[in-house]
């Protein structure tokens, strides 16, 4: 599975990343500065220390093309100031911790929902050309508040195209599953817990989608290139059972089932059954077409067919349990070996692996 295509369309462009100091923001920035001729990359985030750390990690020649804005997506005026002269926006800022959302629902709504509205308005007011918002599999048929806020955000960005009028701004969404090695994910947790000899797993039959940070970043770039407006891009990525994941990381450990936490699903969904009739299939991804009425220039089924897409069956459903592609142990091992984490590097050395294996 490959997502990488030339980024020539970004030559001379100014790209802003909200939440740019996160795991994905780092990957997006690295690729933009090394693989494209962007004029500048603007990091917009609220944590001054993370911005400081990011600046320390960047070579001097890269910093010449970077700008750092302290700000919160809850502050629409600050967003407008940061977006002046910006061509493309990648909206990655969000509150993401599922249990925290249940305990702090108003905070998640302010950032994930009201923040999305602020980003949309600021992009429209400043004439940004294209906007890709990051979503999650938890936004499909959500059962927790975090997923519900992201579903609402997805709807806002798709409908945001109705507000463009003669304005050049176009909005689309990218939705994908668990990122191997991202902050707070289960892979770093298992790598740390294996020293105790026991790995707590929710349920042996639970399945999840998996994607690397690199794949996620290229999916965003391809969406920026291909989008007409109104699409939800969903990658064809593999699934893996949680038990197999645990055994790959720590085959010597005992597995202890602790049960599913509130707000968790046994299997994740990327294309719900009700969206199946509006979904187009490509070799590397799916596109969920908007069911609501959008401007004439927005994405249509005919556009997808012209690009090689095929309509999915009316009963189509893409879940981590009915996936046709499953992650093998060797593939997961190579993914872990590439992670920039001390625990992953130690694990890789024990098994004679390297990031280039």
Q: What angle do helix axes 342-350 and 329-337 make, rounded to 10 degrees?
A: 130
50 is catalytic: no
Q: What residues are paired with 233 via a beta bridge?
A: 174, 287
Distances (CA, A) of 176 to 84, 184, 271: 29, 16, 10
Contact 218, 4 (CB under 8 A): yes
Q: Is 261 helix (H, G, I), strand (E, B) or coil?
A: coil
* Phi, psi (rounded to 5 degrees) for 271: -125, 105
Contact 314, 276 (CB under 8 A): yes
Contact 193, 199 (CB under 8 A): yes
- Go through 275-289 and write b for each residue having 16 or more CB atoms within 10 A of its CB, e for each that does not: bbebbbbbeebbbbb
How far, in Å, CA of 100 to CA of 153, rounded?
18
357's tokens: 């294996």
Strand pairing report for 198-201 and 254-257:
parallel
How far, in Å, CA of 155 to CA of 347, rounded?
41
Contact 227, 279 (CB under 8 A): no
**243: which residues sit within 8 A by CB, 6+ positions away?**
201, 204, 205, 206, 255
Q: Which of 11, 64, 96, 138 is catalytic?
A: 138
Residues involved in catalysis: 138
């Amino acid at each position: 599975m490959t997502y990488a295509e030339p980024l020539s369309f970004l030559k001379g462009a100014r790209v802003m990343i909200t939440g740019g100091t996160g795991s994905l923001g780092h990957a997006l920035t690295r690729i933009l500065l090394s693989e494209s001729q962007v004029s500048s990359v603007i990091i917009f985030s609220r944590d001054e220390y993370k911005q400081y750390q990011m600046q320390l990690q960047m070579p001097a020649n890269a910093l010449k093309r970077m700008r750092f804005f302290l700000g919160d997506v809850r502050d629409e005026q600050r967003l407008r100031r940061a977006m002046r002269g910006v061509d493309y926006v990648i909206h990655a800022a969000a509150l993401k911790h599922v249990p925290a959302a249940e305990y702090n629902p108003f905070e998640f709504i302010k950032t994930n929902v009201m923040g999305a509205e602020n980003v949309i308005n600021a992009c429209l007011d400043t004439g940004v050309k294209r906007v890709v918002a990051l979503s999650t599999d938890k936004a499909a048929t959500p059962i927790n508040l975090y997923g519900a806020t992201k579903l609402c955000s997805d709807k806002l960005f798709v409908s945001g195209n109705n507000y463009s009028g003669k304005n050049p701004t176009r909005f689309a969404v990218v939705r994908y599953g668990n990122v191997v090695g991202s902050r707070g994910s289960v892979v770093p947790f298992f790598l740390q817990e294996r020293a105790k000899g026991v790995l707590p797993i929710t349920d042996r039959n639970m399945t999840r989608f998996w994607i690397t940070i690199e794949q996620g970043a290229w999916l965003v770039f391809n969406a920026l290139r291909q989008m007409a407006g109104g699409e939800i891009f969903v990658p064809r990525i593999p699934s893996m059972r949680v038990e197999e994941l645990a055994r790959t990381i720590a085959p010597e450990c005992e597995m202890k089932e602790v049960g599913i936490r509130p707000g968790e699903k046994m299997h994740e969904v990327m294309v719900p059954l009700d969206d199946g009739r509006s979904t187009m299939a490509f070799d590397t991804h799916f596109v969920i077409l908007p069911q609501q009425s959008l401007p004439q220039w927005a994405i249509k089924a005919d556009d997808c067919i012209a690009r090689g897409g095929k309509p999915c069956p009316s009963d189509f459903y893409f879940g981590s349990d009915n996936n046709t592609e499953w992650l093998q142990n060797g593939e997961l091992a190579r993914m872990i070996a590439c992670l920039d984490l001390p625990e992953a590097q130690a694990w890789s050395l024990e098994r004679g692996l390297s990031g280039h294996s």
